[in-house]
Structure 1
C-alpha cells in the first residue's frame, strides 16, 4: 500500500522566446469592458466605463491600433453590446431608472441616434438589475432582432424580444416570460445567434411562446420551440461552431445531465462538450459569458481559472479557445481578470473585462502556435508516475528552479537543478495531486 502518491501534473513555464503571449493594451479605466465590435477598420468598445486609457467618454470608445477616442457623445448609460448588422453599427445597453424608456441606437457616422420606439418594463425596480435593459442584437430573415428586459414597446405589449420590420418594432409570437426555477425573479434574454434557418435566443427566461424552455429557445420564423430540457441556470452566451450549437452560462445541469458552464446540443439533448470551466475556489462565481468564432476556433470567456478537458486540468483564467479537438489556454489566460468582450482585430485576439465594475482591462493576444506545438517544445519528463516517495525529472537546463505546488498554487518544495536531471523527495507530502513547475515565465498547463 503506497503512502505517498503523486499523480502526474505537469505545470510548465516556457523558457526563452514564445510566439504566443498577452500584451496589455489598456490597464486604466473606471469600469468593466463588456463588448467589442470591429467597424470601418477600427475596434469599438463599450461597457461601464466613462474613462478608459486616459480618454474621457460616455461608455463608447474606438481604437485605431494606436489611440483610443470617444465616439460622438456616446450614451449616458453603460453599454452591453455593439453589433455590426446590415452595414450599420448598433448599440444597446442598460437603463438604470424606472420612468425612462430604453432604445436601440444606430450609429450615423458621428453619433448614435434612437431607432424606433423605446422599450419599457412596467414592473421595473429602480437601480439596475430589473429595469428596461437591452442586451443583444442579431439579424434574422432580413430583420434586426433585439432582446432584453421589457414587456412594452411604445404602446404595444411585446415581451423580451422584438424585430424591426423596416418601420416599427414588432413581436415574435408571444415573446418570452418568467425566470428559470431557483434563479432571481428577473426575465432577461441575454444573447442570440442564427443556427441554420432558426434564431436561437438564450438567457434567463422560463417560457417562449408559452412553452417551457428554461433559458434557451428556438424561433423558426413562425413559432417557438424548446431545446431539450434547457438549463438550471442563466445562459449568457450562445454560438454555432463547426455546425454545432454551443451554450455557456452559470448552469450546472440540463435535465439530469451534469455540466460546468458549457454545453453542446447533440440534436436531441444538451451534453458535455468534453471540457468544462470553473473557479478552483468554490466561493467564486463561475460562469461563461461570451462565445465567438475566429479563425476556425471557438473562443470562450467569462469567470473561471480552470478548464477541464477529459482528465486534463488546464490552468487558464478568463479566456480559452477550442479547435474542435483540444483546448488552448492561450498562455494561461488573463491573470486575475474576468473577460466578457472578445474580438479579432488586425490579426490579434482582443479581450476586454476587468476585476469588477470599477476598473477596466483590455489585452491582445498574438498567437502563431497551437497548444500542441507549444507542448512539443517541452522535452522534459517525470518518472515514475504515480510515485511513492521520489520522482526524477529529466531534460531540464542546469540551475533551473523546479517547484512542487499544491492544486491551490501553494509552493510545497523548491529545488535547483545541478544538471539535466534532478531527483526530488516527496515523502514529506500528503498523498494527492501536485503540480510541477519548471522555470517561471509565461505559459501554464496542467495535465494528468
Structure 2
C-alpha cells in the first residue's frame, strides 16, 4: 500500500504494488483512476512500467503510463473529460508549460501554457479552468492582460483572464449548500469578503485564519444556486 490506496466503505486495499513516491492529485473516470505526483515508477516488488513518470493510470488491475514526451517535475492537478486528461503542475517541454492535455495517444500544450505552476484544474463543457501561481502566459505565447492566478481555456485552446484581484482560490469541499474555499493573497493583500464579489453565494462565516501562511484564510460560503460553484471575481 505505497502512496495510494482505495477505501471500499469497509476497509482499505492496495492498488497493486502502489507507487514509489508521493501523490499530489487524483481523478476518476469510469473504472479508471488517474494519479499524478512525484513518483517515477511502481512501488517495491511491482512489475516495472516503462514511461511511468509522475502521471499514471490504474484500470483496476494494473498500472500503465500516459506517454513520456513531456518533462513532469511534479503533477499537482488532474481533471478528466471524456477521453482527454488535463494535467497541471511543474511541467515543461514541447511548448507545454504549467498545463498539458493527453488525448489518449499524445501530449499537447494549451495555447503555449502558463508562466509557472498550476495547482488546480476544472473542466466544464468545452472550458478548462486553471488556478495557480502564474501571473501570465509562458514567454513563448502572446501575453493576456489581467491573467493573474486563474485562467480559462476554450476547446480551441485560446486562453482568457478571469479577474481575481491577486488572490489564489482553492476549492476545498462542497457539502450540500456549503462550500469551503481556501483564499491566499500572494502579495500580502488584505483578505476580506467585502473586497470581492462572490457569485451565487454569500459568506456564511467570517474568514478563519489559515495555517503557516499568515495571508491565507478559509472562507465558509453558503451557495445560493447549487448548480453553479462560487468563483471569486
Q: TM-score scaled by structure 2? A: 0.72
Q: Does 1:144 align with 2:33?
A: yes
Pairwise CA distance, 1:366: 3.5
2:195 counterpart residue number:
315
Q: Does 1:111 align with 2:11?
A: yes
The within-5 A match list for 1:104-253 is 104-120=4-20, 132-140=21-29, 142-153=31-42, 154=46, 155-157=48-50, 158-174=52-68, 176-178=70-72, 187-207=73-93, 211-241=94-124, 243-253=126-136
Q: Structure 1's 248 and 229: CA in aligned 2 closer, same or farther, altered over 3 A?
A: same
Return the index of the structure with the highest Cα Rg. Answer: 1
Q: Does the CA contact (< 8 Å) of 1:239 and 1:291 recur in 2?
A: no
Q: Does the CA contact (< 8 Å) of 1:238 and 1:291 recur in 2?
A: no
Once residues 287 and 134 of structure 1 are traced to their aligned partners in structure 2, the CA distance between those partners, rounded to angstroms, is 22
Q: Structure 1's 151 and 220: CA in aligned 2 closer, same or farther, altered over 3 A?
A: same
What do the CA deviations read for 1:9-28 (whole angstroms, capped 9, x no partner)? xxxxxxxxxxxxxxxxxxxx
Q: Does the CA contact (< 8 Å) of 1:138 and 1:192 recur in 2?
A: yes
What do the CA deviations read for 1:224-262 (whole angstroms, capped 9, x no partner)? 111111111111011123642111001001132242111
User: What secondary structure is seen at the aligned counterpart in 2 of 1:102?
Assistant: coil
2:150 counterpart residue number:
262
Once residues 29 and 220 of structure 2 are traced to their aligned partners in structure 1, the CA distance between those partners, rounded to angstroms, is 31
Once residues 367 and 213 of structure 1 are traced to their aligned partners in structure 2, the CA distance between those partners, rounded to angstroms, is 35
Q: Does the CA contact (< 8 Å) of 1:238 and 1:290 recur in 2?
A: no
Count of residue pairs the alignment pairs up: 207
Q: Does the CA contact (< 8 Å) of 1:117 and 1:168 recur in 2?
A: no
The within-5 A match list for 1:1-400 is 102-120=2-20, 132-140=21-29, 142-153=31-42, 154=46, 155-157=48-50, 158-174=52-68, 176-178=70-72, 187-207=73-93, 211-241=94-124, 243-254=126-137, 255=141, 256-258=143-145, 259-266=147-154, 267-273=156-162, 275-278=163-166, 286-290=167-171, 301-304=182-185, 315-316=195-196, 321-322=198-199, 330-331=202-203, 334-337=206-209, 354-356=210-212, 364-368=220-224
The answer for unaligned runs of 5 or more in structure 1 is 1-100, 121-131, 179-186, 279-285, 308-312, 338-353, 370-448
Once residues 277 and 306 of structure 1 are traced to their aligned partners in structure 2, the CA distance between those partners, rounded to angstroms, is 11
Q: Structure 1's 199 and 367: CA in aligned 2 closer, same or farther, altered over 3 A?
A: closer
Q: Does the CA contact (< 8 Å) of 1:227 and 1:269 recur in 2?
A: yes
Relative contact order, higher structure (CA 8 A, sep 6+): 1
Larger strand percent: 1
Q: Structure 1's 322 and 149: CA in aligned 2 closer, same or farther, altered over 3 A?
A: farther
The answer for unaligned runs of 5 or more in structure 2 is 226-233
Pairwise CA distance, 1:145: 0.8
Once residues 300 and 239 of structure 1 are traced to their aligned partners in structure 2, the CA distance between those partners, rounded to angstroms, is 15
Pairwise CA distance, 1:196: 4.5
